[in-house]
């Protein structure tokens, strides 16, 4: 995970809040934000929204297909820990680089 500053339009406190909760309450909050045009058009929110949505969906699917038990709990704890770390970076106004997800989203012009 590497974090980088990105000089785009002014990042407001509201942008930071929505970006933070889009990681912590993923994939529910990113789905809701997709329907709010004023939020999804902001560049900072848009980047974190897309990353949070894909990460959350992959995490939930991975947890769903794993056999019940210790492995599932460990994967769930790791995913939640990563969401907290990335959410904290978003609250500081930083862009987060999630290895495969960010590259995919940049090719699709979403991040």
Q: Is the pLDDT of residue 2 over 50?
A: no
**Virtual CA dihedral for 42, 86, 50, 65, nearest 10 degrees?**
-160
Packing angle, helices 99-107 and 43-65, rounded to 10 = 130
Q: Are 48 and 15 in contact (CB under 8 A)?
A: no
For residue 20, what are the CA distances in angstroms to 46, 66, 76, 77? 12, 27, 19, 18
Q: Is the pLDDT of residue 1 over 90?
A: no
User: pLDDT digits over 30-83, tens only?
Assistant: 999 999 999 989 999 999 999 999 999 999 999 999 888 899 999 999 999 999
* Chain position carrying tokens 């492995």: 71
Report the pLDDT value the prediction gives residue 68, as an integer from 0 to 100. Answer: 87
Q: Where are the domains of the chain?
A: 2-107
């Amino acid at each position: 995970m590497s974090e980088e500053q990105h000089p785009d339009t002014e990042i407001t406190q509201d942008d930071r809040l929505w970006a933070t909760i889009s990681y912590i309450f993923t994939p529910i909050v990113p789905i809701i934000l997709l329907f709010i045009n004023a939020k999804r058009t902001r560049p900072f929110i848009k980047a974190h929204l897309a990353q949070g949505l894909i990460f959350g969906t992959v995490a939930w699917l991975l947890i769903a297909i794993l056999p019940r038990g210790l492995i599932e709990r460990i994967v769930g704890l790791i995913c939640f820990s990563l969401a907290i770390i990335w959410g904290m970076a978003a609250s500081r106004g930083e862009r987060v680089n999630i290895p495969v997800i960010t590259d995919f989203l940049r090719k699709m012009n979403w991040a």
